Amino acid sequence: MEDVAVIGGGAAGCFAAVCLKRMVPQLRVTLFEASERPMSKLAVTGGGRCNLTNSFEGVTSLSKVYPRGERLMKRALKTFGVADTLSWFEAEGVRFVLQDDHCYFPASQDAMEIVRTLASALRREGVEVRTNARLKALEPGWTLRFADGTLATADAVIVTTGGAPKGIPFLEGLGLEIIPPVPSLFTFKVPSPELRALMGLVVPAQLSIPGTKFRSEGPLLVTDWGLSGPAALRLSSYAARELAEGAYQAPLSINWLPETDVPSLLDSLHATHPQKQVVSTSGPLPRRLWEMLCSRAGLREDIRWAEMGHKSLNRLSATLTQDAYRIEGRAKFREEFVTAGGVALSEIDLSTMESRRHPALFFAGEVLDIDAITGGFNLQAAWTTGYLAANGVKSRLAW
Ligand X SMILES: Cc1cc2nc3c(=O)[nH]c(=O)nc-3n(C[C@H](O)[C@H](O)[C@H](O)COP(=O)(O)OP(=O)(O)OC[C@H]3O[C@@H](n4cnc5c(N)ncnc54)[C@H](O)[C@@H]3O)c2cc1C
Which of 112, 83, 68, 119 minimizes the C-alpha distance to 380? 83
Least Å distance, CB 199 to ligand X, is 23
The DSSP result for 303-369, as a single string, is -BGGG--HHHHHHHHHHHHSEEEEEE-EEEBTTB-EEEEEE-GGGB-TTT-BBSSSTTEEE-GGGBS
Cα separation, 165 vs 228, whole angstroms:
22
Cα separation, 26 vs 182, whole angstroms:
40
45 near ligand X (CB under 6 A) = yes
7 near ligand X (CB under 6 A) = yes
8 near ligand X (CB under 6 A) = yes
Indicate which single residue of 72, 289, 382, 389 sits in contact with ligand X (rule: CB under 6 A).
382
Indicate which single residue of 85, 117, 161, 206 sits in contact with ligand X (rule: CB under 6 A).
161
Cα separation, 371 vs 378, whole angstroms:
6
Site stretch for ligand X (CB under 6 A), options 71-79, 80-88, 198-206, 332-340: 332-340
379 near ligand X (CB under 6 A) = yes
216 near ligand X (CB under 6 A) = no
336 near ligand X (CB under 6 A) = yes
142 near ligand X (CB under 6 A) = no
Least Å distance, CB 61 to ligand X, is 19
Least Å distance, CB 135 to ligand X, is 4
292 near ligand X (CB under 6 A) = no
Nearest 10 degrees: Cα torsion 145, 149, 153, 156 = -40
Site stretch for ligand X (CB under 6 A), options 116-124, 198-206, 320-328, 334-342: 334-342
Looking at residue 371, what DSSP letter applies? B
378 near ligand X (CB under 6 A) = yes
Cα separation, 148 vs 137, whole angstroms:
12
Instruction: Answer for the pair 186, 342: CB distance below 8 angstroms, yes or no.
Output: no
Cα separation, 240 vs 103, whole angstroms:
23
Count of positions on this chain that bind ligand X (CB under 6 A):
37
187 near ligand X (CB under 6 A) = no
The DSSP result for 274-293, as a single string, is TTSBGGG--TTS-HHHHHHH
Instruction: Answer for the pair 205, 253: CB distance below 8 angstroms, yes or no.
Output: no
Window 247 to 266, contacts with ligand X (CB under 6 A) = none
Least Å distance, CB 227 to ligand X, is 20
Produce one character per residue of 256-267: b if its CB has 16 or more CB atoms within 10 Å, e if not: bbbebebeeebe
Least Å distance, CB 206 to ligand X, is 24
The residue among 27 and 133 lying less far from ligand X, judged by its C-beta, is: 133
338 near ligand X (CB under 6 A) = yes
Instruction: Answer for the pair 142, 174: CB distance below 8 angstroms, yes or no.
Output: no
Instruction: Answer for the pair 130, 148: CB distance below 8 angstroms, yes or no.
Output: no
The residue among 183 and 226 lying less far from ligand X, judged by its C-beta, is: 183
183 near ligand X (CB under 6 A) = no
Q: Which residues bind ligand X (CB under 6 A)?
A: 7-13, 32-35, 38, 41-42, 44-46, 50-51, 133-135, 160-162, 170, 335-336, 338, 365-367, 376-379, 382
